Structure 1
């Protein structure tokens, strides 16, 4: 599938961050809810004094309440409009955008770049505290309180068994025509000096609710309600388990999006559009657990 930029246009990469608590997710909606995409698209239209709204393509569409520190998007702008505004675009956007969303960089993208399909990984962080007093009021919009003590070692043991390429249907909200096969590259927990636990979750891509479902399963392991092999058994079953709790969105932040070298962008763009399948297992082949 071709992703060539239209003649007379230039593709611009935007690096941005936002506090998701007052947004109804990333994607522009027809029902009038406030979204990140709509705020940025409207701001670009305003500061460039354009009659048209130029649509954004994003690396990862975040849900309502989810934050982003390292989100990436692209927008195709007319060459003359980009030439006129490129030097002052960031400062003008800073003056127009609300305080809970910022665009940190706006640069012409290399050939073949697509914010969504060229990405080779996304890295999220989910933050939790099990302090008996709850969450620091200054962090309440970014940290989940879990009111049982958590065993980090048990959670990391459970996490190791989920790594690799699998069908994560048991941890995803299904969408018509979309695959749930993903490669989970990193999943680990660390507790910092303040007692906050951070789950680092990195994969080539994520399906809907995947990170929050994985975190919910591992919290059950960490507080002793489930054994360490339970999340992997849920994964192997391949169906949604009512015991898997989708944790609240405010503890989740998209931290970073990774891309290949410029010369590999177009190839990755094509590869990422292909529907994925898992290799067939022969008789007697071991399962994922």
Structure 2
């Protein structure tokens, strides 16, 4: 088997999230179905993704891997001459075929042979998300309505950043996660800060080694309460310390969130990083 790395992006508006589900349109389902069709497989191959995104969440820098029998790539040769093409040439053909059969709201930008030890999920060092929100009095740009959330009250950039400082570091983020059986909620939040872009849109950059379910949107929701003056700057940190869901934390809408980048170590460190990530973390 050969492990392929897929770098991809998608507009999450019309998807029921990443993970395949019966009778629902998902990103994983679309890509696996396209691979099955192109490679003429009896069953769809299983994709492993760096970070599962919820319904409505977008991705610009998502990464996945899939294990393929190299013999199946022969299906890409068509009626070409019998000489054996290089693997790289076949992967370019695969990329073009994917672009031809998949819908325009999901795109695989690159297909490469993954280095030894690579695991799209467990080898990752960090994930970087962006959350975009507009507090313009007249509403947001209608052409960006699927990626920028409009907030009806004015927000203070200074207050947002002052509150964000209290959330940085390694903590139990149970107050900002939907718990899953057997899964830890301990994470290392490496970066959380806000800027206004040239259009006046507030953009939060959120980086962690990993995220638990709904974590980014819950963090953003807690900070918005501070940004509009309903809570003091210390409040998100106090919620974090209690390690229990707080009814005052409202999860921000999905459409403002985008996975921008997944970072990996050098090839020699991939397997070691995967082994470290699989450990059960404690504080």
CA contact (8 A) 1:10 1:82 kept: no
**Match for residue 99 of structure 1 among 84, 96, 104:** 104
Q: Secondary structure at the match of 2:167?
A: coil
**1:20 aligns to 2:25 (yes or no):** no
Per the TM alignment, residue 264 of structure 1 is displaced from its structure 2 partner at its CA by: 0.3
**Match for residue 30 of structure 2 among 9, 16, 39:** 39
Partner residue in 2 for 1:68: 59
Distance in 2, matches of 1:194 and 1:120, equals 31
Partner residue in 2 for 1:237: 242
CA contact (8 A) 1:160 1:187 kept: yes
**1:56 aligns to 2:47 (yes or no):** yes
| 1:203-282 mapped onto 2 (5 Å cutoff) | 203-278=208-283
Partner residue in 1 for 2:191: 186
Q: Secondary structure at the match of 2:277?
A: helix
- Structure 2 unaligned spans of 5+: 77-89
Per the TM alignment, residue 55 of structure 1 is displaced from its structure 2 partner at its CA by: 0.5
Partner residue in 2 for 1:129: 134
Distance in 2, matches of 1:135 and 1:46, equals 40
Per the TM alignment, residue 82 of structure 1 is displaced from its structure 2 partner at its CA by: 3.5
User: Which deviates more from structure 2 when the two are superposed, residues 43-52 or residues 233-242?
Assistant: 43-52
Q: Secondary structure at the match of 1:115?
A: coil
Per the TM alignment, residue 184 of structure 1 is displaced from its structure 2 partner at its CA by: 0.2
CA contact (8 A) 2:92 2:111 kept: no
Partner residue in 2 for 1:146: 151
CA contact (8 A) 1:165 1:181 kept: yes
Partner residue in 2 for 1:86: 91
Give CA deviations for 1:145-167 in whole Å, capped at 9, x if unaligned: 11111101111011111110000
**1:199 aligns to 2:204 (yes or no):** yes
CA contact (8 A) 1:126 1:253 kept: yes
Distance in 2, matches of 1:274 and 1:12, equals 25
Taking a change above 3 Å as real, the CA distance of residues 82 and 266 of structure 1, as seen in their structure-2 partners, is farther
User: Which deviates more from structure 2 when the two are superposed, residues 219-228 or residues 78-87?
Assistant: 78-87
Per the TM alignment, residue 87 of structure 1 is displaced from its structure 2 partner at its CA by: 3.3
Following TM superposition, where does structure 1 have runs of at least 4 consecutive aligned residues deviating by more than 4 angstroms?
A: none
Q: Secondary structure at the match of 1:186?
A: strand
Per the TM alignment, residue 47 of structure 1 is displaced from its structure 2 partner at its CA by: 1.1
Per the TM alignment, residue 53 of structure 1 is displaced from its structure 2 partner at its CA by: 1.1
Per the TM alignment, residue 237 of structure 1 is displaced from its structure 2 partner at its CA by: 0.7
Give CA deviations for 1:238-276 in whole Å, capped at 9, x if unaligned: 100000000110000000000000000000111111010
Per the TM alignment, residue 52 of structure 1 is displaced from its structure 2 partner at its CA by: 2.4
**1:166 aligns to 2:171 (yes or no):** yes
- Structure 1 unaligned spans of 5+: 1-8, 279-289
Per the TM alignment, residue 23 of structure 1 is displaced from its structure 2 partner at its CA by: 0.2
